[in-house]
Amino acid sequence: MFESINAIDTYILLWVHDNHIPILDWLMPFITDQDNWIIPILFLILFLGFFSNKKGRIALALLVIALSCNDFICAQILKPFFERVRPSHISLDGLNLLVSRGGKWSMPSNHASNVFTLTVVLSYFYGKTKLPLYLLATFISFSRVYVGVHYPGDVIAGGLFGYSSAHNEPLENPWTKYLKDKNKLVRIITNSRIEKYICISCPGCRSKENVLFGIYFLY
């Protein structure tokens, strides 16, 4: 079964590389390079942490926690567990490698997992950004396949893990089980002591009984 899945994965990967587009040969390496996202991420941190309201600071805290845990689990636990070698580390006729080979292990894609975690959190707090964020997350994930460092299955697994780790549908997880009701008291801690309590009313709960996160928030 796994051999069949791997064969399909390899076929799709090589089909993408056999049908590459010159402009994407330039764009995809740029999109996939983490260094090119440093400035946008700094602007995001400044906006959420300093120029936004309490909702923005909560979103920033959740992003830091969710992304840190998500990245660690993918890189340090899941990749060594699956031990799937990147296509860039083996000889594949027709593979058009556009960036450096990267680390040895391939499954799941940290890029895909992290960007979908970020997308779920931000689109929850800022609903109008949902469509562009999901399109951007899909584009970044696809770039990992296009540049030759991941199989399609890697980015699908990474995206699903990132999505489910930050969202309680279809999987309940530690991030989401704190806030099961429409309104929930969330403890706010300042300088390691309990400062006060606030009540968070989540936008999505008007239509369905689920909310995104509950955490101890430092501010």
Query: What domain range is 40 assigned to?
Result: 2-165
Q: Are residues 140 and 38 in the same domain?
A: yes
pLDDT(54) > 70: yes
pLDDT(113) > 60: yes
Q: What is the pLDDT of residues 69-111, one digit of tens each?
A: 889 999 999 999 998 999 988 878 888 889 888 888 989 999 9
Confidence of residue 4 (pLDDT cuts 50, 70, 90): confident
Asked, for residue 172, whether it belongs to a domain, the answer is: no
Q: Are residues 157 and 70 in the same domain?
A: yes
Asked, for residue 171, whether it belongs to a domain, the answer is: no
The pair of structure tokens assigned to 184 is 């929930």
Q: What is the pLDDT at residue 117?
A: 92
Q: Measured in Å, how far apart are the chain's first and last C-alpha atoms?
A: 50
Q: Give the ranges where the chain is alpha helix by DSSP (H).
A: 2-18, 22-32, 38-46, 54-72, 79-82, 110-125, 130-146, 152-165
The number of beta carbons lying within 10 Å of the beta carbon of residue 108 is 26
How far is the C-alpha of 158 from the C-alpha of 127, rounded, in Å?
23
Asked, for residue 178, whether it belongs to a domain, the answer is: no
How many independent structural domains does the chain possess?
A: 2
Average pLDDT of the segment spanning 118-123 = 91
Give the predicted TM-score (pTM) of the model. 0.72
Q: Are residues 189 and 151 in the same domain?
A: no
Report the share of the chain in percent with pLDDT over 70: 75
pLDDT(152) > 50: yes
